[in-house]
Structure 1
Amino acid sequence: KAGRMGERCCAAVLRVLVLQAAWALSGGQVRYSVPEEAKAGTVVGRLAQDLGLEAGEAEARRLRLVAQGRRASVEVSGASGALLVSSRLDREELCGKSAPCALRLEVLLERPLRVFHVQLEVTDINDNVPIFPAARKNLSIAESSLPGSRFPLEGASDADIGANDAYGSHSPVGARRRNDGGRHLWTGTMDLVVILVLDANDNAPQFNQSVYKVQLPESAGVGTLVTRVNATDPDLGSNSEITFSATSFIPPSGRNVISINPNTGEIHLTAALDFEEVSVFDFRIEVKDQGTPPLSSHCSVELKVLDVNDNAPEVWVTSLSVPVPEDASVGTVVALLSVSDRDSGENGRVRCWVWPASPFGLEATFAGSYSLVLREALDRERVSEYEVEVRAEDGGAPALRASRGLRVPVSDVNDNAPAFAQAVYTVLARENNAAGAELARLWARDPDEAGNGRVSYSVWDGGVSVGGGAAGSSYVSVDAESGRLWALQPLDYEELQVLQFEVRAVDAGEPPLSGNATVQLFVLDENDNAPALLPPAGSAPEAGVVAAAEVVAKIRAVDADSGYNAWLRYELWEPRGKGPFRVGLYSGEVSTARALDEADGPRQRLLIVVRDHGEPARSATATLSVSLLEAAEAALAAGSSAATNVWLVVAICAVSSLFLLAVVLYGASRWAPRAAVLSGPGPTTLVCASEVGSWSYSQRHSRSLCVADGAAKSDLMVFSPNFPPPPPGPAPKDTQPEPSALLDTVTLSKRHLYPSSQRRKEQEREERGKEN
């Protein structure tokens, strides 16, 4: 048999190993056929060539079969791309009596991902011998049998199909040997042995019908009555007593599914039915009488199993391409899925969908095959991972469901630039701060991950700078990782009041993205400058008669600080008490407090302290020497100074003209650039107030205020008339005046005069103010 099978296989391979179909116009499907029992390595078809692939492309793009369900017994050659037989193909094992026997295969091709469908038909060869139900048969023949009498025998069965079957698989055979219908003839034999010749039992039992057709649902339980066969025998006595038995099961597993009561002919189920395993059972019932010899006859029973929706759909993931980049285009294939249901008809018709609603959807590519594709744009910063569930439901009643969960992570793309929490940061820093002192911390958020979200900071010199036009990087620096803003050097308010610059945040993506923030650094004034005394303006007052409350000199001082720190007051330190002189608290004018007399002496030495309002206050002292002359000496001194005053006036006019011209030129050069820088938008940053007035620094509006005979001040001083100036108070008890910085001499007449009533009232008001 093995030799004959080899010859038949070789002949069949040479005859049918030809491509049966190319691409079907309707579905892009490749079809091949191969005979069963083909040897391993047999070429079924040139799959790569039929799919239109170039040489070597099948291996480069990993052309392969997708394993699913039962073993396919074929494989794809990685080198040639041919479809080969990998193991024994047995059509009877794969499909039984079903024809045609077609296997559905899925072929996967990567880069880009594509799926093809191949249908492989396994054709039948005559590889099964007709089989009789028994190798030996005993017949009892009555002696009264006439020549030509016929004796029924059980027919042979053949597992092959079509022409290879033995006359319909189980037709009765009237001879000892009988060939089947295949081209290569196989023969089954049965030995006939005559044991006994009896007296006439000349009537065989007869069934009331030759074929019984029964339908049962596959859910029928064990013990269910399948059917009842009926037979009668017209003989008498034991010759009419009949018994039933079941034989010739197709498939053979039917022997374990049913049993028959030998006396009643009732057939019951002895095992559960499974439509997906066997849908039809064929078997024979033999009825035999008790005569001598016994006579028998046969009938056929066809049990058709009806499908019940007892199988839920099955979902397989055949390919998964994750993670999905967040900039993936709509229509990108994420996964390939295969869905099937072992039931038939509506019970096996499956519909699929994606749950919950997500940016993904299903597209049917072939019967039972789906692609999970991207339907909407992704944003990893909004959703970084999706839990997708593919659900399947069949059409049974009730419907059965199945699902398959997929985890689809989204990979990051550098699509977010760093963003600061504020567009403009206002930073206040006191002057004289130590180099390296932290001024502020800036932070920019980048929702991307890894390097795409790792931010580094830097001071951008391309930003606007205020205060002498210096670049921000000359004064401050920012830590690249933490965003800590710190000073490179001590700040000096008298040199720099406002510094505006930009800080840039750049991520580490490719390409990198950046964001900017403006920093306005305001330097706060510290009382680090003591008042500075200016030289006296002009000569001493003319000698003459001095009345009470007459200004005899003026102390002039300026302070390089600002605000309270530059607000000066003048105090007469010596002599204390009821001296003949006093000094204006805020004007610095030295005037007589009363009329001078002989007791005041010929010379007075005044020690005047100039203090600012800083905390702690800083001060300077001026010494004023006042000489008292007789009236005649005073007149002589006045006459000698008259000529000098003429030249002095001329000199003052010339100097004043030059000074005025210099002020105009300086103001033009100073005002234009500052106005360009400070005219930009920005809120008023610092407002200060005191008991004597208020002043503010505004970035939008800035003015330069010149203190008389002093340096220009960049503070806008606005004093409120609602608050009277406070009375001059005594110097702190424990504070000693700083060493004298100015020494001036004033010569006055010694004539005794009394103050006028108006001046006396002013003097009294000032004295009351001091007491208060």
Structure 2
Amino acid sequence: MANALSCGPAFILLLFVSDLVSGLIHYSIPEELEQGAFVGNIVRDLGLNVEKLLVRKFRLVSDDSRQYLKVNFENGILFMNERIDREELCGQSPTCSLSFEAAVDNPLEMHSIEVEVLDINDNSPRFPTDTFPLQIFESIALGGSFPLESAHDSDVGVNTISTYQISSNDYFGLNVQTRSDGSKIVELLLEKALDRELESAFQLTLTAIDGGNPQRSGTAEISITVLDTNDNVPVFDHDIYRINIPENTLKGTSVTQISAVDLDAGTNAEVKYSFSRHSSERGRELFKLESETGKIKVYGVLDYEESIVYDLYVQATDNGSPPMVGHAKVVVKVTDVNDNTPEIKLSSISRVVPENAAPGTVVALISVSDRDSNENGQVHCTVPMNIPFRLQNSPNNQYKLLVGETLDREKESTYNISILAWDGGTPPLSANRTMLVSVSDVNDNAPEFTQSSYNVYLMENNTPGASIFAVTALDPDVGQNGDISYFVVENQIQDVSTTAYISVSSKSGNIYALRSFDYEQLKHFQIKVQAQDGGFPPLSSVVLVNVIILDQNDNAPFIVSPVTWNNSTAVEIPLRATYPGYLVTKVLGTDADSGQNARLSYQLMDATDPSLFSVGLLTGEIRTLRRLLEEDATTQSLVILVKDNGQPSLSSTATLLFSLLSNVTDIVPEPSDRSNNLEYFSKLNLYAVVGLGSTSLIFLVTIILLVAIKCKQDRNITEGYSSTVCCCLVQGYSNDNFNRRPAPHQAVNYSGVGAEPYHYSISLSPESSKSEFLYLKPYTATLPYSDVSVNNTTVRHEFKQ
């Protein structure tokens, strides 16, 4: 490594690191170091851990487009990436350095680094031309001087020109002078009188030597011709002219006027002015020297930021033969004007910020600069107040753009942050740069259903697998966080899992019925649907869906009384007991449907003699239209149609066979005396009552025993249902009994549709003078399912006298 740092045997790399009060890390290196040469252990000097350079995103931030230096991430060494030519980088500026920032993240740190480039003696002095022709009159007195063109050395300091030498001769010597600005001027001195007739020409060698180690030199040939006459050189009134002009000086403005005097007379004293070859090409482009007047005018556009000082070398040439030339220097200093707007540079930009980023999170590093100087170059920076971002000032015009407050992507997903920078000039100049920052989504919103609950009305006997409803949830998050899936929350319906009844499409939210529902078994139920997003962790919400089963007219009426066999029954009627309006019997039907579907009407569909009987449309009572006569047929057949009010209507029929008894001798009182003769019965009716009463008593005892057993099993049934059979029967009903059907053997089928359990009462009616049976007085229009037990049919009987 030592060999890599050497630059010739006489140069030793002076390498040192110093911490300034401001935190600046300073290195010094000679120019022209080879690529890969060691500069410094920057990681150690910054107090960083070399193993965490990549993790913390260590980087060098510089305004220079060329990358002269790099860092080895394995050992933290700062090394040369390419050669540096100090003269190319800084010209002849007394100081030359590279300034950049070293930045690391987690946490964000900025360190200012300055690498001073030291000059080495790598340039030899050079003259403007290889040969200087010089004409000298022989009349020149001893000690006469002749200004010579100075050599130029691109190096600075001790490495620049230190002295001049001339080749050995008997007539001429050198006079080397140092000007106030440190530059050297050389004059040729006449030390012995010339005699053109003895020697008319001289060839001398002028050598310029610098002060480096080892020394470098440059030479030029001086070709001297000895002439007669013009023996005075024009002399300027100042050796150096110093002027200050602002950088916005307009083209054509005269900035100064130079003047030289020639002591000769006539044409030998006529002087013309021009720039010498020592003046830079850029200086000759920006300024124009009028040869006759000596006025120097601005000829181009000045820029303080390009160059602060221009050295113009001028000469005055007389009109003698040979001409005599005098030299002077014009130093033009350009003063700063606030003509540069601030520059804004962004680095380490996080263009996407998560919405849960904590206040203080660094979004970008902002560097502002102004090429102007003093107050004109002092820059201030700000961002708008109405955004959730703020600036934090750092040294050296560095700013951090930070998250200022809590972000919410659902309210604002992108921000066009306008960064404004202005300088301290009068008037101030400003610059604006816009930076787009997107707020990325975080799963911070749970799905929300469009309603707090849903009611679904479903007609029974639906098609299994068909969609019955759809729920919709919205999630303001985006992407995977906003992808919603729907699920049925596990629950029980009639001791069966909800998923056996209902399914939900996970993507669309469509609800499907997995089975056909029967209103008579299940009138309503509730399910819970969960909406869950795809975030991590996922968020969810639950909504209640009430499913109400609507009744469909799918049950035909069931004829409860009179009890029929093969849809027919026989009834005996004593002729003498009849009168117009006599109640023969009563047809009672029930319907497992509800509402209009269970509203029944009765019609006489067919009869042996339609003039004998009528049927109550709503009551089902069969009455005589006239007194029965012996001439009437002894057997009368009536077909009774019982139909509901559904759409379409369903119906059942029952055939009643009436036998007219003419030999029964029971006395039947007239209608006006019925209330006083209730005790009289015909023998036939008495037999029927006794038989039916015995059967009913046995059936009633059986039912009481079954109900008593059921009352013991079901301890949750509440009291309060009035009954002559069992005090355990209740008016309310539990959910367990709500949807249960009877066993198949407990239903009677008339029209191909299974009938529901029915509820009827048997009464002895005092309405007839003949004390006939009133068959099947209905208890309710629609039978409550609470009167039907789970495993046994509960039948209620009421006996009224």
TM-score if structure 1 supplies the norm length? 0.78
User: 2 CA distance for matches of 1:353 and 1:142?
Assistant: 73
Alignment-derived partner of residue 783 in structure 2: 713
Structure 1 position 111, deviation (Å) = 5.9
Alignment-derived partner of residue 774 in structure 2: none
* 1:44 counterpart letter in structure 2: V
Alignment-derived partner of residue 733 in structure 1: none
Correspondence 1:120 to 2:115: yes
Instruction: Give CA deviations for 1:669-704 in whole Å, capped at 9, x if unaligned.
Output: 9877747999xxxxxxxxxxxxxxxxxxxxxxxxx9
Alignment-derived partner of residue 617 in structure 1: 649
Structure 2 residue runs without a partner (length 5+): 162-177, 189-205, 565-569, 668-679, 719-728, 739-758, 762-776, 787-801
> 1:735-754 counterparts in 2 under 5 A?
none
Structure 1 position 193, deviation (Å) = 4.0
Match of 2:226 among 184, 191, 196: 196
**1:477–1:7 Cα change, 3 Å:** closer
**1:236–1:645 Cα change, 3 Å:** closer
Alignment-derived partner of residue 769 in structure 2: none
User: 2 CA distance for matches of 1:94 and 1:349?
Assistant: 25
Alignment-derived partner of residue 741 in structure 1: none
Structure 2 contact 581–623 (Cα < 8 Å) conserved? yes
Structure 1 contact 557–710 (Cα < 8 Å) conserved? no
Correspondence 1:228 to 2:257: yes
* 1:195 counterpart letter in structure 2: T
Alignment-derived partner of residue 454 in structure 2: 425
Instruction: Give CA deviations for 1:502-554 in whole Å, capped at 9, x if unaligned.
Output: 11222222222222121111111111111111143899799563333232211
Correspondence 1:339 to 2:371: no
SS of 2:36's partner is coil
TM-score if structure 2 supplies the norm length? 0.75
Structure 1 contact 157–169 (Cα < 8 Å) conserved? no
Match of 2:185 among 147, 164, 172: 172
Alignment-derived partner of residue 51 in structure 1: 46
* 2:274 counterpart letter in structure 1: S
* 1:287 counterpart letter in structure 2: A
Alignment-derived partner of residue 638 in structure 1: 682
**1:484–1:407 Cα change, 3 Å:** same
* Farther off after superposition, 639-648 or 616-625: 639-648
Match of 2:603 among 571, 594, 615: 571
> 1:365-444 counterparts in 2 under 5 A?
365-397=394-426, 399-444=428-473
**1:416–1:632 Cα change, 3 Å:** closer
SS of 2:656's partner is strand
**1:96–1:608 Cα change, 3 Å:** same
Alignment-derived partner of residue 511 in structure 2: 485
SS of 1:600's partner is coil
SS of 2:665's partner is helix
Structure 1 position 84, deviation (Å) = 1.3
* 1:428 counterpart letter in structure 2: Y
Correspondence 1:286 to 2:315: yes
Alignment-derived partner of residue 98 in structure 2: 103
Correspondence 1:73 to 2:68: yes
Correspondence 1:520 to 2:546: yes
Alignment-derived partner of residue 768 in structure 1: none
Match of 2:291 among 248, 262, 266: 262
What is the aligned length?
678
SS of 2:438's partner is strand
SS of 1:297's partner is strand
> 1:450-489 counterparts in 2 under 5 A?
450-462=479-491, 465=493, 468=494, 470-489=496-515
> 1:314-333 counterparts in 2 under 5 A?
314-333=343-362
Structure 2 contact 230–323 (Cα < 8 Å) conserved? no
* Farther off after superposition, 145-154 or 93-102: 145-154
SS of 1:49's partner is helix
Instruction: Give CA deviations for 1:387-444 in whole Å, capped at 9, x if unaligned.
Output: 4343433444555444444333333322222222112111111111221122112222
Alignment-derived partner of residue 588 in structure 1: 620
Structure 2 contact 138–226 (Cα < 8 Å) conserved? no
Structure 1 contact 129–158 (Cα < 8 Å) conserved? yes
Correspondence 1:605 to 2:637: yes
* Farther off after superposition, 557-566 or 136-145: 136-145
* 1:54 counterpart letter in structure 2: N
**1:340–1:657 Cα change, 3 Å:** same
Correspondence 1:536 to 2:562: yes
Match of 2:15 among 11, 14, 17: 17
Structure 2 contact 447–540 (Cα < 8 Å) conserved? yes
Alignment-derived partner of residue 272 in structure 1: 301
User: 1 CA distance for matches of 2:281 and 2:259?
Assistant: 24
**1:560–1:145 Cα change, 3 Å:** same
Correspondence 1:445 to 2:474: yes
User: 1 CA distance for matches of 2:736 and 2:663?
Assistant: 61
SS of 2:399's partner is strand
Match of 1:242 among 249, 271, 276: 271
* 1:608 counterpart letter in structure 2: I
**1:623–1:206 Cα change, 3 Å:** same
* 1:507 counterpart letter in structure 2: D
* 1:437 counterpart letter in structure 2: A
Structure 2 contact 572–658 (Cα < 8 Å) conserved? no
User: 2 CA distance for matches of 1:423 and 1:677?
Assistant: 30
Correspondence 1:504 to 2:536: no
SS of 2:508's partner is coil
SS of 1:458's partner is strand
**1:293–1:473 Cα change, 3 Å:** closer
User: 2 CA distance for matches of 1:355 and 1:103?
Assistant: 34
Structure 1 position 280, deviation (Å) = 0.7
User: 1 CA distance for matches of 2:109 and 2:732?
Assistant: 71
Structure 1 position 79, deviation (Å) = 3.0
**1:60–1:705 Cα change, 3 Å:** farther
User: 1 CA distance for matches of 2:10 and 2:736?
Assistant: 101
Structure 1 contact 17–33 (Cα < 8 Å) conserved? yes
Structure 1 contact 338–369 (Cα < 8 Å) conserved? yes
User: 1 CA distance for matches of 2:134 and 2:279?
Assistant: 25
**1:524–1:60 Cα change, 3 Å:** closer
**1:658–1:41 Cα change, 3 Å:** same
User: 1 CA distance for matches of 2:685 and 2:220?
Assistant: 169
* 1:245 counterpart letter in structure 2: S
User: 1 CA distance for matches of 2:308 and 2:84?
Assistant: 22
User: 1 CA distance for matches of 2:736 and 2:10?
Assistant: 101
User: 1 CA distance for matches of 2:760 and 2:479?
Assistant: 55
Alignment-derived partner of residue 32 in structure 2: 37
User: 2 CA distance for matches of 1:173 and 1:607?
Assistant: 152
SS of 1:50's partner is helix
Structure 1 position 486, deviation (Å) = 1.6
* 2:643 counterpart letter in structure 1: R
Structure 1 position 366, deviation (Å) = 3.5
User: 2 CA distance for matches of 1:705 and 1:303?
Assistant: 127
SS of 1:94's partner is helix
**1:62–1:572 Cα change, 3 Å:** closer
Match of 1:351 among 355, 362, 380: 380
Instruction: Give CA deviations for 1:734-767 in whole Å, capped at 9, x if unaligned.
Output: xxxxxxxxxxxxxxxxxxxxxxxxxxxxxxxxxx
Instruction: Give CA deviations for 1:365-396 in whole Å, capped at 9, x if unaligned.
Output: 34243333222333333333334343433444
